[in-house]
Chains A and B, each alone.
Chain A
Amino acid sequence: MTEGVSTLPAVVALTASDLRRRVWLAQLGFGALAVLACVTAPLVGPTPISLRQVFDSAIPFAENVDAQIFFIARLPRALAGALVGASLAAAGVVLQAMLRNPLATPFTLGVSAGASLGAMLVITLGLPLSLLGVPAVPIASFVGALVAVAIVYGLATMQRQGLSTNVLLLAGVTLNSLFSAIILFVQYLAEPSQTLQAVRWVMGDLDVGGYRPILSALPLIGFAFVAFARLPRALNLLTLGSDSAAARGVDVLRTQRVAFLSASLATGAAVAVGGPIGFIGIIIPHLVRLLVGSDHRLVLPASACLGAAFLVVCDVAARTLLSPMELPVGVITAMLGGPFFLWLLVRNR
C-alpha cells in the first residue's frame, strides 16, 4: 500500500472532528425538533391562542386566558407525549440492539401486556381508582410491567450463566399471548362499561390532566436515560455478535442486563403515563437509522428526540382531525406505523 494523500480521497474521508460534529448535530437538530413540537402543539386546538399573548408578561397569569389554556390545558398533554414518545423510541433502539433483532419493540418482551393486565384489573375489578391521592391505574400498570419484566428476566437467566436473548424473546412473546388471554377473560367477566373504559386505556391516551403524572414518571424515566447514556458504544459492538463484542472488551452480560432493565423501566413508566401506544418504538429507530446510519451514539439521542416530536404531533392529529371528537392516539401511530413496519419487512429482504 503506497503512502500518500492520493489513496484517501479528501472529500469523502471522515475525520475525527466529523464524528464529534455529527453527534452534536444529531442531538441539537433532533432536540430542536422535539422542543418545537412541544411549543407548537399547545397552540393548536378548538380555541386558537397566540404564542405572543401566552408569553406576554404585561398580563397577569390569572387574567391571561391564552396562557392558562397553554400551560394548564394543553402543555401537560404535549409534555406527556414527548416523555412517552422519547421513552418508547429510546427503549426500542436499546432493545433492538441488545436482542440483535431489528424487529424488536419495547412491547416485544411482555412489558406492555403486563402493564395492560395491571390496568385492566384495577378498572374491571372495581378497585378504588386512587390510592392515597395517587391514581391507581398507572400504578397498577407499572406494577404489571414490573411483574412481566421479572418473569421474563428470571426465565432468561435461569438456564445457564448469562442472559439468553433467545429465551428473553420467546418468553416475552409467550407472556404477551398469555397476558392477552387473561385480559380477554377479565374483560369477558366485566361490566360492559368497564370493558369500554379498559379498551379505551389500551388504545393509549395522553390526556393526563395535569403535570402530576408526568412528574411521577420523570424520575423513573430519568434514571433509565442515565443508564442509556453509557450504552451506545457497547450496543454498536453487540451488533457484531456477543463473542466479537466480548473479544473487544465489552462486558456483554452487564450491557445486556443494563439494556434490558433500563429499557423495561422506561417502557413501564411510559405505558403508565400514556397507555401502550404502539409502533413508536419501531418506526422511529428505523427512520433515524435511515437518516443518520447505525452508530448508536447518534441513533439513541436522535431517536429519543424524534420519538418525542413524533408522538406530540400524532397527538395533535388525534385531537384535531375529527374535532370535536377525539381519536385515540394509539390508532394514529398504528395507522402510520403498521404500513411502515410492513415496508421495512419487505425492504430488508
Chain B
Amino acid sequence: MYPVLREVSLSLPAGGLVGVLGPNGSGKTTLLKLLAGLLTPDTGRITLDGVDTAGFDRAALARRLAVVPQETQLAFDYTVLEIVLMGRYPHLHAFELEGPADLEIARRMLAATGTATFEDRMFRTLSGGEKQRVVMASALAQFETSSGSLDPGANGTRVLLLDEPTSSLDLAFQLETAALLHRLNRDHGITIVVCTHDLNFAAGLCHDLVLLCDGRIVADGPTDAVLTPETVGAVYEVNVDVRRHPASHRLTVVPLARR
C-alpha cells in the first residue's frame, strides 16, 4: 500500500494553537487521525506528554484528547443535550448513567460554546454552524475537569483536534469559531490543532503552522515564518501575495494566478 505520510517528525507545543495546512491529498486528515489515535502508524510512534498514545487505554486517551470532525451526520436524532452528554462516555462505567456532575459539565460546555439556549432542540434541526458548536461542546465534555470547569487541572495536556472547522460555516460563524478556539486556548490552556484549507483562517488564528505536501512536512514553525509567498506558492503551485491586512493586522494570502 502507498504510504500517505512519510518521515513525518513533528513536535506540537503543549498549550499551542497549531494549524495544519496543505493541498488536497497532502495527508492533513491522515495526520489528524494519527494524532487522534484513530489510525496507527505503520512505523514510528505518537506521544502525548512523552507517553506513547498506543499504550493509552481508550477511555484514558479520550479524557485527554478530543476530535471535532468536519461533519457529523447522525443515524438517529438526539437532543443537543444528549449529544453533549455523549462526551462523558470515557468517564462512566459500562452501566453507569450520567449523574448531576456530568450534567453540569455538559451545560458548562454548552455555555462555553454559546449553545446553551438550544439544549432541548433536536440536533438535526440545527444549522451547520450550530451543529459544529454542539459537537465541539460534546468534545470538550470529554476532558478531565477540575471542579466541573474547563480550567487546567494537574491532569496533563488536553488536546482538541479539529478537521476543517470552517468548511461549512459562513463568515460570521467563521469569526465566532476562531474566537471560541482562541478563548479555549488562551483562557483554558487547551492545546488546539486545526486542519484546514483556509489559509487566512489559519493565519488569523494559529500561532504555529505545519505545511504538508505529498505526505511530507514542507514547513513547520511560527505562522509568520511559514506563510511566505515562496513557501505557499511552491506548495500550492500558485503565485500568491502575502501581506498584513491594514485593518485586521493579520497575514492575508491572496492567490494571484496558477503557475
Contacts and interface: CB of A to CB of B under 8 A. Distances in A.
B86 A237 contact: yes
B225 interface: no
B159 to A, nearest CB: 11
A201 B69 CA distance: 48
Interface string B65-81: 11101001111111101
Contacts of B107: 8
A56 interface: no
Interface string B40-84: 000000000000000000110111011101001111111101110
B98 A16 contact: yes
B62 A239 contact: no
Contacts of A289: 76
A12 interface: yes
Given A239-B76, A241-B72, A248-B62, A1 B86 contact: no
Contact of B89 (A8, A20, A248, A297): A248
- Give the bracket for the number of chain B residues in contact with chain A: 35 or more
Most B-side CB within 10 Å, residue of A1, A7, A237, A289: A1
A102 B75 contact: yes
A249 interface: yes
A50 to B, nearest CB: 42
B72 A248 contact: no
B114 interface: yes
Contacts of B151: none
A237 B87 CA distance: 9
Residue from B76, B94, B98 whose CB has the most chain A CB atoms within 10 Å: B76
A347 to B, nearest CB: 12
Given A240-B72, A244-B67, A248-B142, A16 B36 contact: no
Interface string A217-252: 000000000000110010011111101101111110
A23 B97 CA distance: 9
A8 B111 CA distance: 11
Contact of B59 (A15, A230, A249): A249
Nearest to B117: A7
Interface residues of A, number: 37
Contacts of B86: 236-237, 240, 248
A7 B111 CA distance: 10
A243 B69 contact: yes
Nearest to A244: B69
Contacts of A19: 97-98
Contacts of B36: 243, 247
Nearest to A286: B76
B76 A20 contact: no
Interface string B96-108: 0111101100010
Interface-central residue, B67, B87, B97, by most chain A CB under 10 Å: B97
Contacts of B33: 243
Contacts of B78: 236, 239, 293-295
Given A1-B111, A247-B66, A248-B90, A16 B103 contact: yes
Contact of B94 (A16, A230, A246): A230
B185 to A, nearest CB: 18
Nearest to B86: A237
Nearest to A238: B75
Nearest to B120: A12
Contact of A241 (B73, B76, B98): B73
A240 B87 CA distance: 11
B256 interface: no
B116 A243 contact: no
A246 B86 CA distance: 12
B48 to A, nearest CB: 14
B133 to A, nearest CB: 13
A243 B87 CA distance: 13
Contacts of B120: 12, 14
Given A240-B72, A249-B61, A16 B102 contact: yes
Interface string A40-59: 00000000000000000000
B116 A1 contact: yes
A19 B82 CA distance: 11
A97 B75 contact: yes
Nearest to A295: B82
B38 interface: yes
B235 interface: no
Interface of B: 33, 36-38, 58-59, 61-63, 65-67, 69, 72-79, 81-83, 86-87, 89-90, 92, 94-95, 97-100, 102-103, 107, 111-112, 114, 116, 120, 135, 139, 142
Given A246-B58, A249-B63, 6 more contacts: A97-B76, A233-B94, A244-B135, A248-B86, A248-B142, A295-B78
Interface of A: 1, 7-8, 12, 14-16, 19-20, 23, 96-97, 100-102, 229-230, 233, 236-241, 243-244, 246-251, 289, 293-295, 297
